[in-house]
A and B are shown apart, each in its own frame.
Chain A
């Protein structure tokens, strides 16, 4: 995935080892380093800023409880992403079962301005994409977000979902075609 926080001077592995060696400050540094990343991953999956923030914090609680089981040599990022994605999917499953929690589309403020029209256009596109994603089954939405938005490869997604890479590819193919159809229904001139 892009924007890996692992490029900072103190490596993730070192921080994990320090956490395992009873250093609370190392845990605080891990939280600061991965705060925005976990928030972003969760947001791209659940589409709600506050829920995503809550999920990302819950992910750190899980990490805190299980830090002893983390193998620093195998990479903290992937392990942590798995926690965030699974929490997000759990949330979406719960929400799917609950009729009392409304679907919510909250779109982030656009990136630095390229002019009012461009900003408005981007804002509208994001809102529509989120709406279309919400229409897709969770199995489709999750692989689309992990592959096409988060940039994970199929093997990585398979590990997170506990499925075979072949199953993930099959879902991905169907999901892309489903997204394309739904998108064209809403924006026939834009795809």
Chain B
């Protein structure tokens, strides 16, 4: 081992921080190198000086009444009054409250979804006649585009006549998906793709 490499290791060896696998190599080199032994001695002396110069707890005042007052003052300055500790608590303390709030949110969300589902269903069930009536052939297309739902379209056009035609309301007017697509292409080209090929 070269002295330069040993010197790097001695920086750790002097304080007992060298990994065990390297200790043998360093000690072998030290046994044969006076300069590195001197370096080790100086390093140990430096560590000793550092340790002796350390400030210890005993050097600080045992009693310091203003210390606590100043901490309280700092807490107050950050709007962290000691009393607020009683309302802070750990996350474990908050857990039941969070769980209750989550449960309420879930129930509300469930009710909203349920109401939305009800709204999608035709009044009186799916087998009954539609309640929406149209005055022209264009009306169901506009209605469809507004609601953006093929199920809506099917509802207002019941009953279907075959796979490709539907009759809406009780007007007797029959319209096919192709006609809807073509008409939509004319009035709202970007929305034409949303019309299904078949009902």
Residues of A whose CB lies within 8 Å of any CB of B are: 3, 19-24, 27-28, 31-32, 35-37, 39-40, 43-44, 53, 57-58, 60-61, 64-65, 67-69, 108-109, 111, 122, 125-126, 129-130, 144, 147-150, 154, 169, 172-177, 179-180, 183-184, 190-191
A129/B53 in contact, CB under 8 A: yes
Residues of B whose CB lies within 8 Å of any CB of A are: 7-12, 14-15, 17, 42-43, 45-47, 49-62, 64, 67-68, 70-71, 74-75, 78, 80, 82-83, 85-93
B68/A31 in contact, CB under 8 A: yes
Provide the main secondary structure of the chain A interface: helix
What is the CA–CA distance of A79 and B88 in the complex, to the nearest angstrom?
A: 20
Minimum CB distance partner of A32 in chain B: B68
Q: Which residues on A sit within 8 Å (CB–CB) of B68?
A: 28, 31-32
Q: A176 with B51: in contact, given A64-B85, A191-B46 (CB under 8 Å)?
A: no
> Closest Cβ of chain B: how far from A159's Cβ, in Å?
16
B80/A61 in contact, CB under 8 A: yes
Among A3, A60, A68, A126, point to the contact of B89 (Cβ < 8 A).
A68
Q: A40-B57, A40-B60, A125-B49 are in contact. List 4 more A-B contacts (CB 8 A).
A: A22-B86, A61-B71, A64-B75, A108-B60
Among A44, A61, A173, point to the contact of B54 (Cβ < 8 A).
A44
A176/B15 in contact, CB under 8 A: yes
Minimum CB distance partner of B73 in chain A: A57
Q: Which residues on A sit within 8 Å (CB–CB) of B89?
A: 20-22, 68
Among A20, A43, A173, point to the contact of B9 (Cβ < 8 A).
A173
Q: Which residues on B sit within 8 Å (CB–CB) of A69?
A: 91
B12/A172 in contact, CB under 8 A: yes
A179/B50 in contact, CB under 8 A: yes
Provide the main secondary structure of the chain B interface: helix
> Closest Cβ of chain B: how far from A190's Cβ, in Å?
8
Q: Number of contacts between A and B (CB, 8 Å)?
A: 140
Q: Which residues on A sit within 8 Å (CB–CB) of B91?
A: 68-69
Q: Which residues on B sit within 8 Å (CB–CB) of A150?
A: 54
B17/A147 in contact, CB under 8 A: yes
What is the CA–CA distance of A39 and B59 in the complex, to the nearest angstrom?
A: 10
What is the CA–CA distance of A108 and B75 in the complex, to the nearest angstrom?
A: 28
Among A19, A130, A176, point to the contact of B47 (Cβ < 8 A).
A176
Most buried by B among A126, A144, A177, A184: A177
What is the CA–CA distance of A20 and B59 in the complex, to the nearest angstrom?
A: 32
What is the CA–CA distance of A109 and B50 in the complex, to the nearest angstrom?
A: 17
What is the CA–CA distance of A58 and B54 in the complex, to the nearest angstrom?
A: 22
Minimum CB distance partner of A153 in chain B: B17
B55/A24 in contact, CB under 8 A: no
Among A19, A35, A130, point to the contact of B85 (Cβ < 8 A).
A19
Most buried by B among A32, A173, A184, A190: A173
